[in-house]
Amino acid sequence: MIKTILVAFLSFTSLIAMAQNVSAKNVLEKAIDYHDPNDNWQLFNDKFTVEMTTPNSAKRTSHISINLPAEFFEVEATKDTITTTYTLSKKTCEMHYNGKLLDSIAAKEKKMSCDRALLYKNYYTYLYGLPMKLNDPGTNLNDKVEKKTFKGKDYLVLKITYDESVGSDVWYFYFDPITYAMEIYQFFKTDDNGNEKPDSGEYILLSDETIVYDIKMPKVRAWYYNKGDKYLGTDSLIED
């Protein structure tokens, strides 16, 4: 028992020392080097499939195509008997419902829009482009490296805020202190004064890894509310 406590204490003190001696920029660089060692994200041109499962709901399977140099994005999502497709190619936008091309009036009737297409593009390129996306303009990296224990494991944690034009949420990214693999991220909403609302937001547990375009991506993302640890759902990268 004493030996176990001693090992835990030494591990924690080592983490504190590491957090004090490494800069936030250095942690981010090491994390990006782990996930994208060949700097492939900026040239990303590939497809992947995400299966989303949520309690008391049918699964949703999304086939996603991203070509960053060509400014192309497409997501084809199927849930039950409905398939919707959003395609953005530079400044053009197309929407299909069960294979049928929609005009703006028909799209509105189906509750589809180009604004939603852009939302999906930003969502998927952000989450699957992490941690590389933390170098994007408008992203503000806090200078301090925090040390936190989450569900029994110690992490180096980076705090991220965004310019007002980008977003108001406060994000925290948890990295393994040895490998610098990204294993958790978490966000909180803010009030009118920019202060975090502690009972708001969600945390996402990342597990397993798969290689897409020579980038190490989390294979499984499990989403929970910060308040009460309520489970929301899981996104999983699957083989086509």
Same domain, 60 and 92: yes
Cβ neighbors of 70 (< 8 A, separation 6 or more) are 45, 89, 90
In this prediction the pTM is 0.89
Q: Is residue 132 part of a domain?
A: no
pLDDT in tens, the chain (240 residues): 554 444 445 454 555 545 557 899 999 999 999 999 999 999 999 999 999 999 989 999 999 999 999 999 999 999 999 999 999 999 899 999 999 999 999 999 999 999 999 999 999 999 999 999 999 999 999 999 999 999 999 999 999 999 989 999 999 999 999 999 999 999 999 998 889 999 999 999 999 999 999 999 999 999 999 999 999 999 999 986
Same domain, 141 and 234: yes
Tally of domains within the chain: 2
Cα–Cα distance for residue pair 116/125, rounded to 1 Å: 14
- Per the CB < 8 A criterion, the answer to whether 229 and 151 are in contact is no
Instruction: Tell me, yes or no, whether 169 and 227 share the same domain.
Output: yes
Do 222 and 141 fall into the same domain? yes
Q: Residue 79 is part of which domain span?
A: 45-127
